[in-house]
Amino acid sequence: MLINKPSLWGLAVTNRTYSDVQMAKQHARRRGKPRNAEKTLSEIMDVAEALFAKYGFEGTSLRQVADGVNMSQPNFYNYFSSMEKLYQSVLARSLVPLTELIRDGISENLSGDALAINDNVAYAVIDAFIDLLAKNRNLAGLIYQESIRGSETVTRLSAEILGGILKQAQQGLDKSNVGAWPKDQIPFLVVAWFNLLFGYFASAGLLKAILPGGSDPGSKKALNTQRRFLRNVWQKLMRS
């Protein structure tokens, strides 16, 4: 999760796809749509994001999205030329906060070009990811859906961005040799941490069923417990 050069994260790919949103705004205006076209566009993406995170691309229909914003299906095409375009734009918009976190947040914990992973850096990474995923509750679900889907989109967007993050995390763990893990197990260790960070939010419904009193996994109390849990995991898994 430690990357020094934003150019390696696939930011250009994300921004290029996200530009579809701007193109859709211009297209809507040219078609004589009212001045609230931008608001409608955001509503479409918000509804679609929640549906994609829950059901995936194949499990989401145009009718569901259109009904969610009280729009006719033909009118939908004034904003997006296809469901695939909508999906790509939603995914890109969701990944922007993640790339910004890596660029503006995590890199601040590094000294120069070093890829050293110490306790303070690890705790900062844990807190940053929890804060981001708690704020963007659909992000974990979208990423897991993309991983399951294994589509061209995951190759062009998720894999390019997340792949860069995972590779840099692997280099950092390998270089600092945290916990003296065998080199051939480092990739598995990186993916394990990815699942610890994202899996909590992707499995929120399941977790709610076993938390005391059916507590909300997104509550401040539950999130603070998750922070302590992950720090404990770091100490036991990486320092033993």
For the beta carbon of residue 34, count every other beta carbon within 10 angstroms.
Answer: 9
Q: Is the pLDDT of residue 16 over 50?
A: no
For 134-145, what is each residue's pLDDT tens digit?
988 888 888 787
Confidence of residue 155 (pLDDT cuts 50, 70, 90): low
For the beta carbon of residue 158, count every other beta carbon within 10 angstroms.
Answer: 24
CA separation for the pair 91, 52 (Å, rounded): 9
CA separation for the pair 64, 67 (Å, rounded): 5
Q: CA torsion sign, 153 to 156 to 161 to 166?
A: positive
Nearest to 132 by CA among 209, 200, 234: 200
For the beta carbon of residue 240, count every other beta carbon within 10 angstroms.
Answer: 7
Query: DSSP secondary-structure letter at 113?
Result: T
CB-based contact 50:92 (threshold 8 Å):
no
- End-to-end Cα separation, the chain, in angstroms: 21
Q: Residue 19 — φ and ψ, nearest 5°?
A: -65, -20
* Site of tokens 């009280």: 70
CA 4 to chain CA centroid, Å, is 19
- Which whole-number Å values give the CA distances from 145 to 26, 55, 91, 154, 199, in the listed order? 30, 8, 11, 10, 12
* H helix and E strand count, the chain: 12, 0
Domains for the chain: give ranges and CATH numbers: 6-238 (1.10.357.10)
The residue type of 142 is L
Q: What is the pLDDT of residue 119?
A: 80
Q: What is the pLDDT of residue 100?
A: 73
Helix axes 11-30, 83-100, angle to 10 degrees: 130
Q: How much of the chain exceeds pLDDT 70, in percent?
A: 66
Q: Is the pLDDT of residue 189 over 80?
A: yes
For 21-70, what is each residue's pLDDT tens digit?
555 555 555 555 554 777 888 899 999 999 988 888 888 999 999 999 99
Q: What is the pLDDT of residue 114?
A: 45
Q: What is the pLDDT of residue 116?
A: 56
Better-predicted residue by pLDDT, 223 or 7: 223
For 105-114, what is each residue's pLDDT tens digit?
555 554 444 4
Confidence of residue 228 (pLDDT cuts 50, 70, 90): very high
Mean pLDDT on 173-201:
81
pTM, rounded to two decimals: 0.68
